[in-house]
Structure 1
Amino acid sequence: MKTFRLLVVSILLLSSPCLAQISAITDTGQEVVLYDDHTWAYVGVNHAASDVIKLDTLHVTKPDNASFLVKGIKVKYGMWMDPKKWALEKQGPNDDSEYMFTLRGEDAYAMIISEQIRIPIKTLKKVAVENARSVAPDIRVIKEGDRVVNGVTVSYMEMGGTIQGIPFTYLGNYYSGKTGSVQVIGYTSQDLVEKYRANIDELINGFTILEQQ
C-alpha cells in the first residue's frame, strides 16, 4: 500500500503537510481539521498521562533468523534483519532517513532516522509526537516504556493517529547516547497492527550499538 506508506513517512521526516486543511469549530466547541477528501479529525485532543499504557522494562535479543546486519552511516549502530522477510532500501544522502524496510508482500514498513547529535530521550520522543501532530492532529501516545535491546537501553513508544482519514500506528525504539541518537520506527494501519506486530517488533528489536561509548 504505497500511498499509505508515503503519507505516514511524511510526518516522520518533518515534511511540510501536503494535505489541504481547514480549521472549524463544532457545535460543542471542539476544534477540528477538515480535509479536502471530506474527512476530519479533532485538534489538540489531550490524553492524560494515565491514558498511556506504561510498559514494564522488556529485555529482548535479536531472533536467530535475523542474519543480516545493516550498519548505520552517521551513527555507529547496527540493525539485524531477516532478508527473507524484509526488503531493504538504502536512502540517498539528501534523505532524512538512512534506511527503509518493507515486509515482503505485505503492508508493514519501517525506517531508521539517525542524528550525530545526542538528543535526550524525553526530547527525542517529544519532538516525534509534535512532528506527527503537525500532520495528524489527533495523534496520541498509546504505550511507552523502556526496553533493553541486545544489551542497549532504548525507550519504546507506540503512537496512533489519522492522516487524510487513514488510521495508522507507529511502533518505535528511541535511542540516545554519546554516539548519537537513533529512531527505529515500524508502522502500518491500525486495522493491521496486530497482524504485523510480531514482525515489526522482531525487526525493530534487531537494533544494537556497534561501538559502545
Structure 2
Amino acid sequence: MKKICILGIILLNVSVFSQTKGLTDDGKEVVLFDNGTWKFVNESDAKSLETISTNDFLFKKSNDAGFLMRSKKLDMGLYFNPPEWKVSPEKVSPYVEYMFRANTEDQIIGFLITEKVQVPTLKNLRDILLMGVQKNADFFRLKESEYGTVNGLKVLYIRYIANTKGLDFEYAGNYYLNDLGYCGVVAFSPQNSFEKNSVKIHEFLNGISSAKKDERTEVTQYSAPPPPMRSKK
C-alpha cells in the first residue's frame, strides 16, 4: 500500500535541528536534544492508543464557512471561510488536494487530503496514520481519538503532538471513509500556539462535507467571499 500519511511528510519539511536517540535504564527510548533536554519517544498512554471513544454531539460547519472546495477524486469537499483561510498554491504531496494558510499571526496550516485506497474501517485508517507519524517523528503523543458525526458524516477525529529535530507541532484532523477511499481535513500549528487557536482550527475541520466531486481540470479561484448561503427549506 502506498504511504498515506501526509503528516510525516510535513514533519520532514520542517527539520532544522539535530538530535540523537538513547535508552533509559529500564529500556524506554528517548530523544536527546542539543540544549540538553530530552523526551520519551512516545508518551501516549497505552489505553489511548488502544481505544477510540465516541462523541455523540452532532457537529456542523460554521455559518461563516460559505465557500466549498470540491475534491477532484472523491465525492467530498470542504466548506471554509475565505477571510479566515487562504488557499495556498504549494504542492506538498500527491495526496494533498488543497493547502490552506490561516489569516493570523500564528503559523496555522490546513489541508484537504484524499486518496483512492481501500481501507476497511476508520480504526484501520487511524492505525495506519499513527504508525506513519510515529515512524517519522522523533517524539509522539496521542491526545485524543474519537468517532463523531460532522455534517451528517461518520468521521474519526484525532489530535496529537509530534516533534522532529527539536520542533513541537500539534495536529488535529477529521477523517471520512467511503467505497473509493478516504478524505481528511487536517490542520496543524506550533504546539505552543495550538490551544489559543483551537476554535479557529476546529471550525476549519468541521467544514468536511459530502459533495459531488469537481470534474473540471482547473479550479476557478475566488476573488471575494461568496454571498451568504441560503438554507433549504
TM-score normalised by L of structure 2? 0.75
Q: CA deviation at 1:123?
A: 1.7
Cα deviation, residue 128, structure 1: 1.3
Could you say which residue in structure 2 is the equivalent of 1:5? none
Which segments of structure 1 move beyond 6 Å, counting only runs of 4 or more? none
Structure 2 residue 137 is matched with structure 1 residue 139: no
Deviation at 1:35, TM superposition (A): 5.0
Question: The residue matched to 1:133 in structure 2 has which SS?
Answer: helix
Larger radius of gyration: 2
Q: Which amino acid aligns with 1:113?
A: I
Tell me which amino acid in the other structure corresponds to 1:59: L
- Cα offset for 1:203? 0.7
Please state how far the C-alpha of 1:159 moved relative to its aligned partner.
0.9
- The structural deviation recorded for 1:96 is 3.0
Q: Equivalent residue for 1:125?
A: 126
Superposition deviation, residue 165 in structure 1: 2.1
- Distance of aligned partners of 1:14 and 1:76 in 2 relative to their CA distance in 1, 3 Å threshold: farther
How far did residue 138 of structure 1 move?
2.8
Identity of aligned residues (%): 27
Q: Deviations over 1:28-78 (max 9, x none)?
A: 543223356765432344522158784522311111211110011222211
Equivalence for 1:190: 191
Aligned-CA RMSD value = 2.9
Match runs of 1:89-128 below 5 Å: 89-92=88-91, 95-106=94-105, 107-119=107-119, 120-128=121-129
- Consecutive unaligned residues in structure 2, runs of 5 or more: 1-5, 214-233
Calculate the TM-score normalised by the size of structure 1: 0.81
Classify 1:90/1:178 alpha carbon distance in 2 versus 1 (closer, same or farther; 3 Å): farther
* 2:20 corresponds to 1:22: yes
Is the CA contact 1:69–1:79 (under 8 Å) kept in the aligned structure 2?
yes
Q: What is residue 84 of structure 2 aligned with on the other side? A: 85
Q: Letter of the 2:115 partner, please give it.
A: E
Q: 1:12, CA displacement in angstroms?
A: 4.8
